[in-house]
Structure 1
Amino acid sequence: MTLHQESNRYTIPSGEHILTIRNRKRMDMTSVKSIERFDQEEFYIKTSQGHLLIRGEELHIVHLDVDKGLLTLEGTVKTLQYDEEDSGFSKGFLHKLFG
């Protein structure tokens, strides 16, 4: 099992995307392609279904299986937002600023 890191980007193999949230405290997901960035309040993840932005409190990685593209997070989940694969949240943000 190898986790490839290019600056702050971690690349993970992909497959079918399934997301499970238990009591807004634990999140399991499959088909994670890469973790673009993360901290205790925000995770930005590339999945087979597009980019996923997760916002919350005290978010942290509990389990990561690079070979299978599995990720488990714990913390308080407040917001989930998907964006299309090719548009990205950064582009949307810059477009809103500079139109």
Structure 2
Amino acid sequence: MQIQTESPAYTIPSGDHVVTMRNRKRMDLTSVKTIDRFDQEEFLVRTSQGMLTIKGEELRIVHLDVDKGLLTLEGSVATLQYDEEETGSRNFLHKLFG
């Protein structure tokens, strides 16, 4: 990934998945496909790099741009975990009986 620094703002090439966290209180994510589930303690976010689970306290959406795949969260972030996306019949069965 190349980050262009010709201006004060960074330009992120489209399609790259980037997670930026500030003091464990604010997160910016790119290449977000869907938010499968969320509450104040857990977010399940489908990204271009797989399923991302974000756990913490008092989590909330500050900004969401579904067209551009951008998500900004605030709260106290405790953990981030990526899981590969399930494919094929297992995913279908998981949706039915999950």
TM-score by length of 2: 0.73
CA deviation vs aligned residue, 1:40-89 (integer Å, no higher than 9, x gap)? 0000000000000000000000000111000000000001000001278x
Post-superposition CA distance 1:10-29 (Å, at most 9, x none): xxxx9320000000000000
CA distance in 2, matches of 1:86, 1:48: 13
The letter for the 1-side match of 2:68 is K
2:62 is aligned to 62
CA contact (8 A) 1:17 1:49 kept: yes
Q: Which structure dedicates a bigger proportion of its chain to strand?
A: 1
Secondary structure of the residue aligned to 2:58 is strand
> Is this contact kept in 2: 1:18–1:31, CA < 8 A?
yes
**Aligned residue number for residue 27 of structure 1:** 27
Aligned equivalents of 2:19 and 2:86: distance in 1? 21
Q: Which runs of 5+ in 2 are unaligned?
A: 1-13
- Matched letter for residue 21 of structure 1: M
Q: Which has the higher contact order (CA 8 A, sep 6+)?
A: 1
Gaps of 5+ in 1: 1-13, 92-99
Identity of aligned residues (%): 74
What's the TM-score, normalizing by structure 1? 0.72
